[in-house]
Amino acid sequence: MSTIHANPSVETVKGWSVEQVKNFLNSKMDEFSLNYNEIAKVEENSINGRAFLSSDLQAEEKEMGSKWCHPTKSNSRCIL
């Protein structure tokens, strides 16, 4: 497994597995105000790096009322 970088590039995140996305979000729980149930959705929905970055996923998460954080945004803001 690769190391989780503080500010991964888009190309790096695109190559992440579901487990790597989950590990990244776990490492940023406090910073992104996430809880375990929200992070568990990554595995439940098989969200890999490419899916995590997709705009379609962001729209789906807004619709579901979940918050997801884009790991490459400089301000590390969550999508509400």
| 63 vs 25 pLDDT, higher one | 25
Tokens in use for 57? 């996923």
Q: Is the pLDDT of residue 79 over 60?
A: no
Comparing CA positions, the residue from 1, 13, 4, 76 lying closest to residue 50 is: 13
Determine the 3-state secondary structure of 79 from DSSP: strand
Q: What's the pTM value of the predicted model, to 2 decimals?
A: 0.64
Q: How far apart are CA 48 and CA 19, in angstroms?
A: 8
- Digit-coded pLDDT (tens) for 47-60: 999 998 885 655 55
Q: What are phi and psi of 20, to 5 degrees?
A: -65, -40
Give the least confident one: 26-30, 35-39, 46-50, 53-57. Answer: 53-57
Supply the pLDDT for residue 54: 83
- Domains of the chain with bracketed CATH: 10-72 (1.10.150)
